Structure 1
Amino acid sequence: MNGNILIVDDEKEIADLIEVYLKNDGYEVYKYYNGMDALECIATTKLDMAILDVMLPDINGFDICKQIRKKHFYPVIMLTAKVEDMDKIMGLTIGADDYITKPFNPLEVVARVKTQLRRYVRYNHQEEIDLDEMNSKEETKEYDIKGLLINKDTHQCTLYGKELSLTPIEFSILWYLCDQRGKVVSSEELFEAVWGEKYLDNNNTVMAHIGRLREKLNEPAKKPKFIKTVWGVGYRVEL
């Protein structure tokens, strides 16, 4: 099997359709039509990903995502019938990795699943070292910036000695900014470096994740210490 995937959607036709396509690709699927059953599964089952509908009859998908993020870092994809940017930003801010708007092509869902799982595996299994790293003679593995310590090998990040719970995406964003410390990194560059996909205009994904990172770093909104915003240009971690 390629992995254990949770699907939660009260529209049975949609849940059943996604299940068929994922099973055809070799995934083990845990399918539920309500939030309470899904939470029980999350508590008792080793999962590699969750696909959550936002609107459920008992508990909304955002709340389920919050519960997942208390203990788990595996990818979460949100399904939403709404197209408002605030709904997308909300999902990304609370720890979701991606969102898909209904109606959708099930093949797109499978493609997004594969992308997220590849990224999750890459950032959580250090034995999979890419060729660029192997060929790098003096690659920096750790940065200590003003009390923020981040280590690429252990994938640990501490702030003033206290460990931060970062998702793989959040860690990758922070590492990239630290690796480019002193330089201004545009949202486009950051998105394409971390997500490995083409950046599209009006993409709020980076902004939402930066906001989440700042919360975890206890950054003041107006004068952040670590991740600075250069308006109209991008973001910078200062030396």
Structure 2
Amino acid sequence: MLLNRLAKHHGLCADDLSRLSSVPAAEVRAVLDGAPPGASLLRRLAPVFQLEAEDLYVIAAAALPLEMTPLDPRAGTTVARLAWHAARLPRDQRYQLRRLAQSLPQERRTQPDPEPRAHLQYPPGPGGLLMRLLANRNLGWLAGAQTFLTLTGRYWSAATYGQVGHGCIELTPDLLADYAIVLGIRADDLAALTGVKLQDRTAPPSEVAVDVTGLIWDVRRLTLDQIQHLRDTAKSTS
């Protein structure tokens, strides 16, 4: 199970995780042995692994509660354009943009979370995990491809990323490193989860990438109109 793999990568046993998360050791041990994790355990373990709770849900193959899913599934390409403009801002303006995003009120969901289209439902496997983590940021095939280009300088077609998710294209070390940059998750953690060995010298994400991936996370619970406002703000100052 991936949680067990992640724990081993961090050199943490059940007793360690219990101490760090204040979850009973017996409960942690059961989950590491394959029992379905509860919501409370996932929320408490996430900071231990330096992950967002929503991402740990995905890693554990647990259903995300509605209040933890991206708010507006129409916003993907707008998020990608926001990222493009934000990446061109000086550091202080990127900081101000993030502060603005964090200050916006989060609207209540008025519609049920739509069922993903068939081509966005991925089988178990490394590529499927990465694409589900990407979807956690409201990035699908096209918006994901655009964001990869912005943050890594490399572009594959949208369909190619979809094929990675469906296991039709090999997940290479270089591609895994690109996913780490776009997701804002440590490359070594993704390597442990996917079983893909990183190259000896995997470059860390740039300061711009760190800021922009943080912004992408900041807006996942905002409406399309709010994200468009942020995009326009970034565009006017870039």
TM norm structure 2: 0.29
The structure whose residues are more often strand, as a share, is 1
The structure whose residues are more often helix, as a share, is 2
